[in-house]
Amino acid sequence: MRFDSTLGLESKRGPLAVTLKTILYAAIVVVFLGPLVGLLINAFGAVPDPTRFSLPDSFSLDNFIQAGNRKVFLYLLNSFVVVGFGLLLQMIVSVFAAYALARKKFRGMTVVLLLMLVTMMIPEEVIILPLSAVLGELPLIGTRLIGTYAGMILPIGAWGFSILVMTEFMKEVPVELEEAARIDGAGEMRTFFTIILPLCRPAIGVIGVFGFTMIWDQYVLPLIVATDSDQWTLPIALRSLRSDEEVGIGVLLAASLLALLPSIIAFLAFQRQFMRGLTSGAIKG
């Protein structure tokens, strides 16, 4: 089975069509992979002119060593701590909240879903002041989260996108499977962990990739919470390095490469579940 492309190039034959396709695909590769290749090459060498793409004369780890002297690896560790605990908390909240929305019937469920959609549409800049006030002193508890890792992790524990994705996926799980498990004597929690959750692995892969990217790229929240430079995450550190005139472009590119690699590794780790989740959503849609 063959599908024509949007431009209809797959249906064209002949030398001219092959030439046009080759040029088009080569242009796409250059546009999307060119900056990544330039980042990879120039991160390992001296850049004579930062305004032009050029190959360095020699390759070394000097840029990464200088980045380490600028505490980039400490900021990288901070990012891993935040994204590790934050993503774990976010996925736990998402699967349990989705189970309640997909399998339980209660008043106000539509309102809850609408509120989740609203939270996805509000820019982060709008909630800076109320968020900083809440983190400065939690209501009823009176605990101050400013200057702690918990202040960077707890606010991202619930994300409307992840909950909605898991909810729609769980709705497609046949209810008959739960009924059969209950007939065999399985309780609700055992049914959830042995029947529903394994069937939702594709959706877990989707929210894992998107959740990792969302948390890893957080800038506003760590900027509000961090009271000391040692608490910075990598996105804040990149902004600081960029404004520092003493830092060369090579060090900045090395730090940018360190910030890019975890997202690529996360996608490769969840690639199979991610693609299955997208395909399942397209088929069900």
How confident is the model over 34-53, as pLDDT tens digits?
777 777 777 777 655 554 55
- pTM here is 0.80
Question: Does residue 102 carry a pLDDT above 90?
Answer: no
pLDDT at 57: 67
pLDDT tens for 203-246 read 888 898 899 999 998 888 998 998 888 889 999 988 888 877 77
Question: Does residue 71 carry a pLDDT above 50?
Answer: yes
Range in 1-15, 82-96, 202-216 the model is least confident about: 1-15
Question: Does residue 89 carry a pLDDT above 90?
Answer: yes
- Which of 173, 208, 206 lies closest to 191 in space, CA to CA? 173
Question: Does residue 92 carry a pLDDT above 90?
Answer: yes
Question: Does residue 58 carry a pLDDT above 80?
Answer: no
pLDDT at 87: 94
Query: What band does 1 get if pLDDT is binned at 50, 70 and 90?
Result: very low
Task: Give how far the C-alpha of residue 27 lies from the chain's centroid of Cα atoms, to the nearest Å.
Answer: 27
- Which of 117, 91, 92, 112 lies closest to 101 in space, CA to CA? 112
Average of per-residue pLDDT values in the chain: 81
Residue 196 C-beta-side C-alpha neighbours within 13 Å: 29
Phi, psi of 59 (to 5 degrees): -115, 140
pLDDT at 49: 55
pLDDT at 153: 92
264-282 exposure pattern, b = at least 16 Cβ within 10 A, e = fewer: eebeeebeebbeebeebbe
- Which of 166, 192, 174 lies closest to 113 in space, CA to CA? 166
Q: What tokens were used for 72?
A: 């980039």
pLDDT tens for 123-149 read 888 888 888 888 888 877 778 889 889
Question: Does residue 7 carry a pLDDT above 70?
Answer: no
Q: Which residues contact 119 (CB under 8 A, 6 or more apart)?
A: 160
